[in-house]
Amino acid sequence: MVAELPKMQRALILLLLVCFIPAVLLNLPPLVLSGEAAPAASEIVAHQNGLSWTIAPLVGQKQPSDFYSYVDFRTQNALVQLNTSLIFLYQEASDARGEMLSLFIIHGPPSRGAFESTASFSLWGLPSTTSVLVKDDTDDYYDLSPPAGNISWRWSTGFTDGVVLGDLRAEFTLTIYPRFDQEITHWVLVTGNLENPQYIELSPQDPLVLEARLPDPIASFRFLPLEPIAGETVSFDASMSRSSAGPVVRYNWDFDGDGRFEIRLAAPVMTYSFAKPGDHTVMLQVEDSFGRFGAETQSVRVRNGAVRVTRVLKTPLPDLQILRGYTFTVELEIEAELTVSGLGIEETPPAGWSLRPVENDGAQFNLETSAWVFLETLAPGDKRRIRYQIEVPAQEQPGIYPFAGRVLSGFPRMTTEIHGESEMRVISALPIELAISRLSDQGEIDLALSNMISFSQILQATALWQEQRPVPGTNGRRIDLSTMVRLVAYWLTDTPVNQSLPLGST
């Protein structure tokens, strides 16, 4: 709504008022004020000449144009003062989020008999949503092109002038450069409550900066159980996080203390389990709808797990190597640290590798899922061992293949990973030294043999060298003189072929 008055009508009414009722000009009618507390979400600070004040918008039930109350060619706002230009922010009480702030500028009447007063403001930093809600006079000059603006006023004795700029929104930095004539002796910033407003005297010659910023959201979370055991499922609840500037839209979690938020969710509740005991740093970062962030950090003390399962890969070759097409053994060593009821173990070998159980130690086995479950309660200190064999496909490509597995329990409720050895290296051919140590009396590779070269094997190696025949299991490699010398040294010094020869050997 824009209240306007032609200048000719103002002049005629001014003449009547000056001649007949001059006292009325200095006694503006009172306005019923609202004393409600400001619900604005913004934190607003005013700056001038190195001084800063935290201010609050005046809050009332009326719309900005009604609060300005342009009646009888002047504002009826009860805050108006003689010889004084007022500036303040206003907010309707129904705007709980503080998104629709209005800027009021009210120039009071001069107390002397001057016929006209003048003022002009240059503004920088106006939000793009800014519009003029109230013009006190159509003859005044308005040039608003956000972020810039220029306004000039001219008003007569006994009258007021001013403007209301609306929709400043929740965040802005607005700089106001004032210019007053000598009739305006005070420039005052109004803040606080309408029933008891506070007045801050400003310098009429210096710029004023109004800075409105939304407060950061507050991150807060709780978790249960308070001291979980390793592998136990922990529930994290961040629903008590809040933002006065809008809803929390994202919850970001860092569970390893590296400062990076690996888990990003729209919901406040999630579950997580810690694989290892100790003190773990957990950080929550929340983001509100305005893109502002808040964070909280807590320490979670994790006790030793209810049960620990360790994987041991037993390969016939050193350094966890296996020839494709061959079989090796896996052992799972199980030890309960607490009373455990309903213990389950699931292994995930590389795809296509066939698994065959050898020893279940009382557990029930499911071949399709490679899983075991114990039908007994394990007491603290109880130990169990599971053994199974794995056959590597004959056409498997050489490389490193990972093992994965998890441990579950019904009581206490927990899920954790299997610890221990977790990678196997598949090779397509043996080094000559290893191949000779695995030669059977029939001249075939037997991976069950040891890493020691026997007399029978050194004789076979000598014949292969003399006849320059390929060594079995090496993809056609032949023994040269340097290799033959090393094989003899391994045999004579009783050194395993997976170790270095003694110093001084060839």
Tens digit of each residue's pLDDT (9 = 90 or more) over 130-168: 999 998 877 789 999 999 999 999 988 888 999 999 988
H or E stretch including 409? strand 404-411
- Residue 457 domain boundaries: 432-492
**Statement to judge: residues 186 and 42 lie in one domain:** yes
Contact 251, 266 (CB under 8 A): yes
CATH number at residue 312: 2.60.40.10
Task: Give 355's strand partners.
Answer: 390
Q: With 0.75 as the threshold, say if the pTM is over it.
A: no
Query: Omega of the bond prior to 225 within 30 degrees of 0, cis?
Result: yes
Q: How far apart are CA 423 and CA 430, in angstroms?
A: 19
Residue 43 belongs to a domain:
yes
**Statement to judge: residues 395 and 410 lie in one domain:** yes
Residue 245 belongs to a domain:
yes
pLDDT under 70 in the chain at which residues?
1-41, 96-99, 112-115, 504-506
**Statement to judge: residues 413 and 453 lie in one domain:** no
**Statement to judge: residues 192 and 246 lie in one domain:** no
Q: How far apart are CA 449 and CA 498, in angstroms?
A: 13
CA distances, 194 to each of 61, 99, 105, 242 (Å): 11, 20, 16, 28
Residue that terminates a domain, selected from 302, 331, 346: 302
Tokens of 150: 């220029």
**Statement to judge: residues 193 and 230 lie in one domain:** no
CA distances, 260 to each of 256, 283, 302 (Å): 8, 9, 21
Residue 133 belongs to a domain:
yes
Residue 497 belongs to a domain:
no
Contact 452, 443 (CB under 8 A): no
Go through 93-116 and write b for each residue having 16 or more CB atoms within 10 A of its CB, e for each that does not: eebeebbbbbbbbbbbbbeeeeee
Q: State the chain's mean pLDDT as an integer.
A: 87
**Whole-number pLDDT of residue 114:** 57
In the chain, the number of structural domains is 4
**Statement to judge: residues 128 and 261 lie in one domain:** no
Residue 501 belongs to a domain:
no
**Statement to judge: residues 422 and 436 lie in one domain:** no
**Statement to judge: residues 110 and 240 lie in one domain:** no
H or E stretch including 484? helix 481-492
Rounded to 5 degrees, φ, ψ at 7 are -65, -35
Residue 503 belongs to a domain:
no
**Statement to judge: residues 192 and 158 lie in one domain:** yes
Please report the DSSP string for 432-465 in residue order. Answer: HHHHHHTB-TTS-B-TTS-SSPPHHHHHHHHHHH
**Statement to judge: residues 144 and 78 lie in one domain:** yes
Contact 430, 437 (CB under 8 A): no
Q: Give the strand pairing for 269-273 and 58-60.
A: unpaired
Contact 337, 308 (CB under 8 A): yes
Question: What number of other Cβ atoms are within 10 A of residue 123's Cβ?
Answer: 22
Residue 178 belongs to a domain:
yes
- Our CA angle for 350, 355, 361, nearest 5°, is 125
**Whole-number pLDDT of residue 10:** 44
How many Cα atoms within 13 Å fall on the side-chain side of residue 256? 6
- Give the residue from 245, 242, 282 showing the smallest Cα distance to 261: 282
Number of helices (H), then strands (E), belonging to the chain: the values are: 6, 36
Residue that terminates a domain, selected from 213, 243, 272: 213
**Whole-number pLDDT of residue 17:** 36
Q: Give the strand pairing for 141-145 and 208-213.
A: unpaired
**Whole-number pLDDT of residue 29:** 33
Contact 280, 227 (CB under 8 A): no
- Give the tens place of pLDDT for each residue, 55-82: 999 999 999 999 999 887 789 999 999 8
Residue that terminates a domain, selected from 162, 182, 213: 213
**Whole-number pLDDT of residue 40:** 44
**Statement to judge: residues 262 and 374 lie in one domain:** no
Residue 386 belongs to a domain:
yes
**Statement to judge: residues 383 and 467 lie in one domain:** no
